[in-house]
Amino acid sequence: MLLERLRNVQVSSLCDADKGLAVVDPAIRAMVPDVSFAGPAFTLLAYDDHLPVLVALREAEPGSVLVVATNTLRKAVSGELFATEARRRGIAAIVIDGYCRDLRGLRRIGLPVHARGTTPMSGTTRDPGTFGREVLIGRVRVAPGDLVVGDDDGVVVGSRERFEAAIDQAEEIERAEQALLAGMARGRPLHEMTNVDEHLHALEADVPTSLTFRV
C-alpha cells in the first residue's frame, strides 16, 4: 500500500528521488519527535480560532492529515485535547501553518503534529470554519486530497501519482544508505564506497559527472 510505504521511508529519501517535490517551509517543524505520517489532506482555515479545528476533527475521514492554514497568526489553534481526539478518530497528523500548545501533552500522545512553534494563548471559538478549499501552507499550495508526508526532517506535498512515481527509487536510496552504514560499521571509509575522487577530477576538467555510491 502506497501510504504504508511512504510512512516507512524518510522524507529526505523522497526528496532525493524527486527533486521537484513541494517542500513546506522548514519553519513548520515537528513538535513530536521520532514519528512519521502520510495521508490525504483535509484542508481548513483557522484564523486565530480553534473552533474550525474542532469541527474538522469530526468531519475528516480516518487516515486524513489535517492541514490548517492560519494566515500565520499568533494564537494556538490546537493542543492536547485536539490531538487526543485526533488519535482516537484515527487522524494521521495535524500540520499547522501557525501555532499549537500543550507541548508536553502532545509528546505524550505521540500524534504527529507540525507547527511553527508553541504559544500558551489560544484563539477564539467564533468561526464555524472553512473547509475543503486549496490552502497555502508554508508557501506550498495544498488541495484537498493531495498526499502529505512528514517526519522530523519536514513535510512534503504532492499528488498520489507523483509519490507513486518516486517511492521505488526512494526505497532503493534507503537500501543503498543502509549498505553504506553497514560498511562503515565494519570499518570501511565512506569515501571508498563512492566515486568522489573521479568526481572531483571530472569537476576540475569541467566534464559531465555526478557523485555516486558503490554498494
User: What is the pLDDT of the chain when averaged over all its residues?
Assistant: 96
pLDDT surpassing 90 at residue 72: no
Write the pLDDT tens digit of every residue in 120-152. 999 899 998 899 999 999 999 999 999 999 999
Cell 468561526 locates to 127
Q: Residue 168 in 3-state DSSP?
A: helix
Residue 71 confidence (pLDDT) above 90: no
In the structure, what pLDDT confidence band is assigned to residue 59 with cuts at 50, 70 and 90?
A: very high
Whether 215 contacts 183, CB under 8 Å: yes
Integer Cα distance of 192 and 197 in angstroms? 9
213: Cβ contacts below 8 Å, ≥ 6 apart: 176, 180, 193, 194
Residues 145-201: tens digit of each pLDDT: 999 999 999 999 999 999 999 999 999 999 999 999 999 999 999 999 999 999 999
Question: How many CA atoms are closer than 13 Å to the CA of 90, on its beta-carbon side?
Answer: 6
Going 103 to 47 to 130 to 96, the CA torsion angle's sign is negative
Global pTM? Answer: 0.94
Note the pLDDT tens digit of each residue in 76-110.
Answer: 999 999 999 999 999 999 999 999 999 999 999 99
* pLDDT digit string, tens, across residues 20-32: 999 999 999 999 9
**Alpha-carbon span 37 to 16, nearest angstrom:** 18
Give the residue ranges of DSSP H helices in 42-185: 51-59, 80-89, 103-109, 160-185
